[in-house]
Amino acid sequence: MSRIGVYPGTFDPVTLGHMDIIRRGATLVDRLVIGVTTNPSKSPMFTLDERMETVRREVAGVPGDITVVAFDSLLMDFAVREGAKVIVRGLRAVADFEYEYQMAGMNQQINRSVETVFLMADVALQPIASRLVKEIALYGGDVSKFVTPAVCADLVARVAMIGRKGS
- Least Cα distance to 63 among 28, 93, 94 occurs for 28
User: Does 11 belong to an annotated binding site?
Assistant: yes
What is the Cα–Cα distance from 71 to 62, expressed in whole angstroms?
A: 22
Does 91 belong to an annotated binding site? yes
SS3 content of the chain, % helix, strand, coil (to 5): 45, 20, 35
Q: Write out pLDDT tens, residues 15-40.
A: 999 999 999 999 999 999 999 998 77
Tell me the H-state helices in the chain: 16-26, 48-59, 75-82, 94-110, 130-138, 149-162
pTM score of the predicted model: 0.92
CB-CB neighbours of 87 under 10 Å = 24
Q: Which tens digits make up the pLDDT trace of 96-111?
A: 888 898 999 999 999 9
List the alpha helices (DSSP H) in 4-129: 16-26, 48-59, 75-82, 94-110
- Measured in whole angstroms, the distance separating CA 6 from the mean position of its chain's CA atoms is 11
Active-site positions read 18, 42, 92, 130
Q: Which residues of the chain have pLDDT under 50?
A: none
| Of 40, 66, 41, 43, nearest in space to 55 by CA | 66
Establish whether 58 is an annotated binding residue: no
Report d(CA 36, CA 11) in Å as an integer: 7
Q: Is 51 annotated as a binding residue?
A: no
Q: What is the side-by-side order of every strand in the sheet holding 4-9?
A: 65-71, 31-37, 4-9, 86-91, 115-120
